[in-house]
Amino acid sequence: MRVGRAALLSVAVAAFLPVAAQAQAMLQPPPKAMPANPTVDQNDWYKTGIIYEVYPRSFADSNNDGIGDIQGIVKHLDYVQSLGIDAIWMTPMFPSPQADFGYDVADYDNVDPQFGTVADVDQLVAQGKGRGVKVLLDFVVNHTSDQHPWFQQSKSSRTNPYRDFYIWRDPKADGSPPNNWASIFGGSAWTLDPKTKQYYYHFFYPQQPDLNWRNPKVEKAMFDAAEWWLKRGVYGYRLDAVDTMFERTDLKDNTVYPGVDAFGVPNQDHVNNSKQPEVHTELQRLRQMVIDKYPGRILVGETWTSDASELVQYYGPRNNELQLPMFLNLISLPALTAPDLRQRITGVETNSVGGWPSFALSNHDSRRAASRYPLPAGASTDDWAKITGALLLTLRGTPVLYYGEELGMVNNDPQRIEDVQDVIGKKGWPKEKGRDGERTPMQWDASTNAGFNTGAKPWLPVAPDYKTRNVAAESADPHSVLNFYRTLIALRRTHPAMSGDWKAVDTDDKQVLAYQRSGGGKTVLVLLNLDSKPADVPIEKTDTMEIVRPLAINRALLISGSIHLDPLGVYVAEITR
Ligand code: NOJ
Ligand code: CA
């Protein structure tokens, strides 16, 4: 039993709602068509917006070849619109040998035929526009594919004009790599080119050589590529792997730590080949010279920072860098506990003065949130999906949802190495099983292949729960994860408090994360029990605070003078101030 703090969580007993009325409140169907956001300034659309990450390979396969494609996304734009999404972030669909499923780009100004054509992207942009859904692309800035013509030129001779597009260094006297930097995808970060007898540098796979951003010609070529899509109506970019755009030119060795990574390489700190100060100056130039020429266009960052103070550097000194550096630290937490979340969210809130926060809990590189944490007794995967959705959708910052998160989709990890598609899974098996599990096909309905297609075997197996966990089934079930998300999204888009401040309440509680959103003269209270035991939040008669209206509830009841929350219980209600 939790001891509540009267001043913070007290609600007047006069406002007691019978259990049936609360159940009714949570059964309210979300609106069919989402109302328009009360946008502050059109160029600030992202502040009231919700971004939805689409992994094109896995979303919907329109031509039945087993691989999702752009027309598949076009086909489902009505669904995306009905969810209340303001922008999709489409992960790379550029021509690519697919060594890293598109994060190895061979031509920034085109589309891989397996995903479609430039005309398909134009259609996606136009049809999205008609539905209020903007399109963001994924700009892979750190590296290209080794099949990119720039690299083909670069490796052809030491004197080729493109040689300095990449990072080439001589071997050490004994022929070994220039330093001890390791690739985070296994092995040395250097690969020897036998023809020109120099090593090239790659933070990721050898098929992903790092660009040399110190070369002004690289900047020009990449800025041109960014602009090419903006001119076509794309609304901006999620920037891939920004931390690693620069490395120290003196090639200082990284400090090595005890133990080895999943690939058997000694652990090291990557301090000399990531998060260099030049990253910020370069991103500010991209913002100023390209993005700001087009009103309303934004940059979202794949910013894996160690804490909020590091994160805020990505806003730039005058908010002139990234509009949305994603705070990804919640993903890395080994457990979602109230104290850890409170500390991190408060950190973002207090540090990001002038900048706008953005949070994500799942993506194509991380286990899906609904199956990431242990299940408390009596709770289900749906409950994890609901509490993580309630968190993400009631915070102040822009939420970045991952396709299927709104269904409570779970990881479907390969069981045998021979089934693995993601190369890091093949190289690191069994310690690192790769990222296939979180990339399985979107679950649309109960038909064969979950409605992903009606043809060839999908590139990854559909998760076994698809017969019940799918858009069609969940749409018809008032208690589903999907309808819970729809309720929360409608709340986010319509309730004035959701455009206002965020404030933690009851700052010592170890079980329940409690906070208020206040704006437009209204306040919403959010209680999330992240503990494996039930919690009770007492109600004080004497206080002025009252529950006006329960808004979204799961495994929680207002009863006998307390809000009772079962493990993973969610209670969101409008209260008087
Ligand atoms: C981050 C991307 O999200 C990931 O999927 C990719 O493998 C690396 N960057 C390298 O581009
Ligand atoms: Ca296809």
Q: How confident is the model at residue 41 (pLDDT cuts 50, 70, 90)?
A: confident
For ligand 1, say whether the CB of 240 is within 6 Å of any of its atoms.
yes
For ligand 1, say whether the CB of 239 is within 6 Å of any of its atoms.
no
CA of 459 to the centre of ligand 2 (A): 10
Give the separation between CA 550 and CA 572, rounded to whole angstroms.
Answer: 6
Q: Whose CA is nearest to atom 10 of ligand 1?
A: 103
Average pLDDT over residues 8-20: 38
Residue 349 has pLDDT above 50, yes or no: yes
Residue 3 has pLDDT above 60, yes or no: no
Give residue 178's pLDDT. 98
Give the separation between CA 481 and CA 206, rounded to whole angstroms.
Answer: 41
Q: What is the 3-state secondary structure (H, E, C) of 198-261?
A: EEEECCCCCCCCEECCCCHHHHHHHHHHHHHHHCCCCCEEEEECHHHCCCCCCCCCCCEEEEEC
Q: Which of 536, 491, 489 is nearest to 511 (CA)?
A: 536
Structure tokens at 69: 């494609």
Give residue 169's pLDDT. 98
Q: Which of 141, 302, 125, 314 is nearest to 229 (CA)?
A: 125
Give the separation between CA 67 and CA 60, rounded to whole angstroms.
Answer: 8
Element (H, E) at 554: strand 547-559
Residue 259 has pLDDT above 90, yes or no: yes
Give the separation between CA 73 and CA 181, rounded to whole angstroms.
Answer: 39
Give yes or no for a contact between 385 and 483, defined as CB atoms under 8 angstroms apart: no
Q: Which of 20, 114, 116 is nearest to 66 (CA)?
A: 114
Average pLDDT over residues 518-525: 96
Give the separation between CA 276 and CA 251, rounded to whole angstroms.
Answer: 13
pLDDT tens for each residue of 413-426: 999 999 999 999 99
SS3 120: helix
Residue 19 has pLDDT above 80, yes or no: no
For ligand 1, say whether the CB of 100 is within 6 Å of any of its atoms.
yes
CA of 52 to the centre of ligand 1 (A): 17
Element (H, E) at 190: strand 190-193
Average pLDDT over residues 261-282: 97
CA of 65 to the centre of ligand 2 (A): 5
Strand 134-140 to strand 236-240: parallel, antiparallel, or no bridges (unpaired)? parallel
What residues are paired with 360 via a beta bridge?
A: 400
Average pLDDT over residues 173-193: 98
SS3 452: coil
CA of 178 to the centre of ligand 1 (A): 24
Q: Which of 509, 465, 485, 471 is nearest to 399 (CA)?
A: 485
pLDDT tens for each residue of 440-474: 999 999 999 999 999 999 999 999 999 999 999 99
SS3 141: coil
Strand 398-402 to strand 51-54: parallel, antiparallel, or no bridges (unpaired)? parallel
For ligand 1, say whether the CB of 210 is within 6 Å of any of its atoms.
no
Please count the other Cβ atoms lying within 10 Å of the Cβ belonging to residue 240. 21
Distance set, CA 424 to CA 308, 362, 434, 456, 539 (Å): 29, 19, 5, 25, 52
CA of 101 to the centre of ligand 1 (A): 9
For ligand 1, say whether the CB of 140 is within 6 Å of any of its atoms.
yes
For ligand 1, say whether the CB of 365 is within 6 Å of any of its atoms.
yes
Give the separation between CA 288 and CA 283, rounded to whole angstroms.
Answer: 9
Give the separation between CA 404 and CA 322, rounded to whole angstroms.
Answer: 27
Work out which ligand 1 atom sits closest to the CA atom of 204.
10
Work out which ligand 1 atom sits closest to the CA atom of 185.
7
pLDDT tens for each residue of 531-565: 999 999 986 644 566 888 999 999 999 887 789 99
Give residue 37's pLDDT. 59
CA of 531 to the centre of ligand 1 (A): 33
Work out which ligand 1 atom sits closest to the CA atom of 142.
11
Give residue 506's pLDDT. 82
Residue 246 has pLDDT above 80, yes or no: yes
Q: How confident is the model at residue 40 (pLDDT cuts 50, 70, 90)?
A: low
Entry pTM: 0.95
Nearest bound ligand to CA 63?
2
Nearest bound ligand to CA 300?
1
Nearest bound ligand to CA 452?
2
Structure tokens at 115: 């995903």
Structure tokens at 430: 């069994």
Q: In the β-sheet with 198-201, what is the strand arrangement from edge to edge?
A: 168-169, 198-201, 190-193
Q: Whose CA is nearest to atom 2 of ligand 1?
A: 240
Residue 256 has pLDDT above 90, yes or no: yes
Residue 121 has pLDDT above 70, yes or no: yes
Give residue 33's pLDDT. 54
Give the separation between CA 512 and CA 54, rounded to whole angstroms.
Answer: 32
Q: Whose CA is nearest to atom 4 of ligand 1?
A: 365
Give the separation between CA 484 and CA 479, rounded to whole angstroms.
Answer: 7
Give the separation between CA 11 and CA 555, rounded to whole angstroms.
Answer: 19
